[in-house]
Structure formats: C-alpha cells, structure tokens
C-alpha cells in the first residue's frame, strides 16, 4: 500500500511540465500542473465577467476613453509577441478593460483577461513604455499559468491532508480549492518566484513589441516612491520583490533584452 507521501509525490511527478518556451531571458522550469487549463480558463471568464458587471453597475467600467485606448493599444502590440513563449497565446480571447479605482493594481487572468485600475496610470503618471512594463508583467503571469500552478499546489496539499485524515480515521476529505482559486484569479497574490519570473518574461515581451525596456527601471522607481511613504505597499505588491531589488534585476537583464528592442524599432 502506498503511503500518503508517496501517493502525493506520484501525483506531483505526473503533473509536472512547463507551460512556455524559455525565450531570450531563459525563463524555463518544471511546473506542478494538476488542474486543467480549460477548467481554470472557464473560471477566469466567469470571474472576469462578474468583475465587469459589478464595475459597470457602479459606473466604474471604462470611464476614461483616452486611457482605455492607450492601454488597449499597448496590449495590442504586446499580444503577438507572446508566440515566442507559447504558440497558442496570440489566439486567446484577449480582452482589455479599465476600472475606476485609486488602487495601484492591474492583472491578467488566465486566457488573456486584462484589467487596469485607473489609479495606477494616473497616480504614477505612466508613459506608454511604463504601461508596457506592467502589461508585459501581467501577461507573463498568464503565459506561465501561475494561477493554474498556484491552484495545483493547493490541490496537492489538500489531497495530502485528505488522504492523511482518511487513513487516520479522522473523517472529512480534501478542502475545497475555491479560496486558492480566488487568490490566484482575482487577488493576484503570487509568490515572489512567480513575480520575478513575470518580470523577466514581461521585459522581453515589451522589448520585442518595440517598447524601451529601460522603462522597467523608471516604473519601479515610481512605484517605490508612491508606496514607500504612503502607508505601505498595496496588497498586490505584498509578495513582490522589493523595488530596489527589482530595479537591480531589470538592469541586469537590459543587455539581453535591449537588442530585441533595437531590432523591433528598425
């Protein structure tokens, strides 16, 4: 009879793969993927539709036509570049909207459902290049299926708990993963490793789209100034690398991605 640990390890090894090619920045590793893309994409579509409906009911959806046009234009330039990392991504049902909110936030749900808060663009006075930094980063989360990976990790942990409690005669079963799904789809609280990976992929995406990757430095300097003296970092930044570390990591990548930007501008 397999022990609970062996059973979970067997399940984990069976579910390990990589969702993307490595690109110029070398973003490649094995990922634990126990939940299907189709299942999570369907959940994302429902969550995104509800988010839009709620915002629309409050008169907070797409209230700034000029900003919406800017954000959508940046997304349109970056989306074709996603083919470098995964061939199916340009064909996703991409959608880009903005919500009237002072919170410094943006996200891209599985399958390409993008949302920007107006406060992020206004408060930081973002240039198109800086919008591209954020856009590339958020799209990278979707390309690498970090949400799916996060839910899979929760599923594996809950499976282990369920097996253990059943073998010990404690009753019950694995907990529901709705909480993990919410965190992954809406709350945007990814691990620090996921954030660093998204920075690397995002910087390459924007460079290939013809946006100067040097904007990654100015964006995170602005973010540091905005959050360093105003009562702490927003929730969605709570698991991100520190802004100073982020700037250093981006500067280290510039020799790799700047030639891609220069080639795109020719």
Q: Is residue 126 part of a domain?
A: yes
Please tell me the predicted confidence (pLDDT) of residue 149.
75
Domain count of the fold of the chain: 1
Please tell me the predicted confidence (pLDDT) of residue 28.
65
Six-digit token string for 163: 């097996």
CA 219/CA 266 separation, integer angstroms: 25
Q: Is residue 153 part of a domain?
A: no
Taking only the tens place, the pLDDT of each residue in 124-177 is 999 999 999 999 999 999 999 867 777 766 654 454 444 444 444 444 433 444
Q: Report yes or no on whether pTM surpasses 0.85.
A: no
Tell me which residue range forms the domain holding 92: 32-148+180-265
Indicate the pLDDT class of residue 258, thresholds 50, 70 and 90. very high
Q: Is residue 17 part of a domain?
A: no
pLDDT (mean) for 213-232: 82
Distance in Å from the first CA to the final CA of the chain: 63
Please tell me the predicted confidence (pLDDT) of residue 201.
96
Identify any residues that bridge with 16 across adjacent strands, giving them in sequence order. 32
Say yes or no to pLDDT of 244 above 80. Answer: no
Indicate the pLDDT class of residue 40, thresholds 50, 70 and 90. confident
Please tell me the predicted confidence (pLDDT) of residue 155.
58
Residue owning tokens 């062996």? 6
Q: Is residue 260 part of a domain?
A: yes
Q: Is residue 247 part of a domain?
A: yes
Please tell me the predicted confidence (pLDDT) of residue 143.
95
From residue 18, give the alpha-carbon distance in Å to each of 15, 37, 79, 150, 159.
Answer: 10, 13, 20, 14, 22
Taking only the tens place, the pLDDT of each residue in 84-122 is 999 999 999 999 999 999 999 999 999 999 999 999 999
% of the chain exceeding 90 in pLDDT: 56
CA 3/CA 22 separation, integer angstroms: 36
List residues with catalytic annotation.
Answer: 138
Q: Is residue 161 part of a domain?
A: no
Taking only the tens place, the pLDDT of each residue in 177-217 is 455 554 545 555 677 888 999 999 999 999 999 999 999 99
Please tell me the predicted confidence (pLDDT) of residue 123.
97
């Amino acid at each position: 009879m397999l022990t609970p640990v062996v059973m979970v390890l067997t399940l984990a090894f069976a579910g390990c793969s990589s969702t993307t090619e490595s690109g110029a920045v070398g973003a490649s590793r094995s990922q634990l993927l126990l939940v299907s893309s189709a299942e999570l994409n369907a959940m994302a579509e429902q969550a995104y539709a509800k988010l839009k409906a709620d915002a629309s009911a409050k008169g907070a959806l797409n209230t700034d036509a000029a900003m919406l046009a800017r954000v959508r234009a940046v997304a349109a330039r970056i989306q074709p570049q996603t083919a470098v990392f995964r061939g199916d991504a340009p064909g996703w049902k991409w959608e880009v909207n903005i919500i009237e909110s002072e919170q410094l936030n943006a996200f891209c749900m599985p399958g390409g459902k993008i949302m920007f808060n107006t406060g992020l663009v206004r408060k930081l006075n973002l240039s198109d290049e800086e919008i591209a930094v954020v856009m590339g980063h958020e799209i990278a989360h979707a390309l690498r299926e970090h949400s799916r990976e996060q839910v899979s990790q929760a599923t594996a942990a809950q499976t282990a708990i369920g097996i253990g409690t059943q073998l010990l005669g404690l009753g019950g079963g694995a907990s529901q993963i709705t909480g993990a799904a919410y965190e992954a789809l809406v709350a945007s609280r990814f691990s620090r490793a996921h954030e660093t990976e998204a920075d690397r992929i995002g910087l390459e995406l924007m460079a290939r789209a013809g946006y100067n990757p040097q904007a990654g430095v100015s964006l995170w300097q602005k973010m540091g100034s905005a959050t360093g003296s105003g009562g702490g970092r927003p929730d969605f930044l709570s698991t991100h690398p520190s802004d100073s570390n982020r700037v250093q990591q981006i500067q280290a990548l510039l020799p790799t991605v700047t030639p891609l930007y220069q080639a795109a501008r020719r």
